[in-house]
Amino acid sequence: MKTHSDPIVRLENVTRHFHQGETIVRAVDGVDLEVYPGEFTVISGPSGSGKTTILNLIGALDDPTEGKIWVEGKNLSSMSRSERSVFRRDRIGFVFQAYNLIPVLTALENAEFILTLQGVPSSERKERVLSLMKEVELEGLENRRPDEMSGGQQQRIAIIRAIISNPAIVLADEPTANVDTATAGKILDLMAKLNREKNATFLFSTHDHNVIERASRVIRMQDGKIIKNDLQSAIENSSEDHS
C-alpha cells in the first residue's frame, strides 16, 4: 500500500519459528509488511496461518526469530524488556477475543486501566471513560463487573480500554469470535466509527467474513507467509478459513 505518510508498523523479513520436539513450526516465515496511519486492515487466513503470531510480534508480546520490527519508527528489538513494556502500554492497544477484562474491577475501572497505569488523574480518567461509554451505548453500566455484562458489552469495554490512551495502533485478535452475529456487527460498527472519526488505526487477525468485508485492505496468510494482498481474493477465499 502506497501513502505519503510514514508507516506506523514495518516488518522486514520477519520469521518466528517454534520447536515442537524435533519439528520446526514456521509460524511466520519471511514476512515483509507495512501498516499506515488510519488503516482498517485485516490479516486473514486459516487457523495456523500465522496471523495471531504476527499481531503478537507487532504488539511486542513475542520476539521474532529473525528480522526486524519497527513501530512508530522504533526498533522493538533494540528495546529493553522494561522499555518495551512501557511502549506497549502507551502506544499499542489490544482487543482480544476473550475480552481479557479484570473480573474484580468495574466496567469503568477496566476501561480506565491503561490511564491508571499512566498516572492520569482520576477525574480526567473518569471523564474520558464516561464520554466513550456514552458513545458506545454503555451509559449507566460503569459500576457493573464483567460477569454482570453480556459478551458484547464486555467487548465494547475492551475496545474503550484499547483506544482510551490514543495509541498508535489497535491490534484486534479475532474480536468477534465470542459474540453473536448481531453483536459482532455493532462491535464492527463501533470500530469503523473510531477509525473514521478519530483516525484510529486498526489491524485485525480474523477469519470472520463480516470483518473481512469491512476492511480497507485485506492481507491473506497461509503457512506463515503473505500470499495475497488483494481484497476481493481474500473475500472470495474466506470460506476456506472455516473448514
pLDDT per position as a tens digit, 25-51: 899 999 999 999 999 999 999 888 999
Query: How confident is residue 230, by pLDDT bands cut at 50, 70 and 90?
Result: low
Residue 28 DSSP SS3: strand
Query: How confident is residue 237, by pLDDT bands cut at 50, 70 and 90?
Result: very low
Overall average pLDDT of the 211-236 stretch? 79
Q: Contact 28/224 with Cβ under 8 angstroms?
A: yes
Which three cell numbers mark 98?
476473550
Whether the pLDDT of residue 241 is over 80: the answer is no
In 3-state terms the chain splits into helix, strand, coil percentages (rounded to 5) of: 40, 25, 35
Parallel, antiparallel or unpaired: strands 66-71 and 9-20: antiparallel
| Of 205, 123, 200, 220, residue with least CA distance to 160 | 200
The Cα–Cα gap between 54 and 52 comes to 5
Query: How confident is residue 234, by pLDDT bands cut at 50, 70 and 90?
Result: very low
The Cα–Cα gap between 169 and 185 comes to 21
What single DSSP character describes residue 50? S
Mean of all residue pLDDT scores within the chain: 88
Condensed to tens digits (0 to 9), the pLDDT of residues 216-227 reads: 999 999 999 999
What is the Cα gyration radius of the chain?
A: 18
Query: How confident is residue 236, by pLDDT bands cut at 50, 70 and 90?
Result: very low
CA 98 to each of CA 94, 146, 179, 241: distance values in angstroms, whole numbers, following the listed order: 11, 12, 10, 20
Condensed to tens digits (0 to 9), the pLDDT of residues 157-169 reads: 999 999 898 899 9
Domains of the chain (ranges, CATH numbers) = 35-58+81-242 (3.40.50.300)
Overall average pLDDT of the 216-240 stretch? 71
The Cα–Cα gap between 139 and 147 comes to 17
Sign, CA dihedral 63-60-32-223, equals positive
The pLDDT of residue 21: 85
The pLDDT of residue 121: 96
The Cα–Cα gap between 110 and 101 comes to 6
Query: How confident is residue 231, by pLDDT bands cut at 50, 70 and 90?
Result: very low
Check residues 228 and 217 and name the one with the higher pLDDT: 217
Condensed to tens digits (0 to 9), the pLDDT of residues 121-165 reads: 999 999 999 998 988 889 999 999 999 999 889 989 999 999 898
Overall average pLDDT of the 75-101 stretch? 92
Residue 94 DSSP SS3: strand
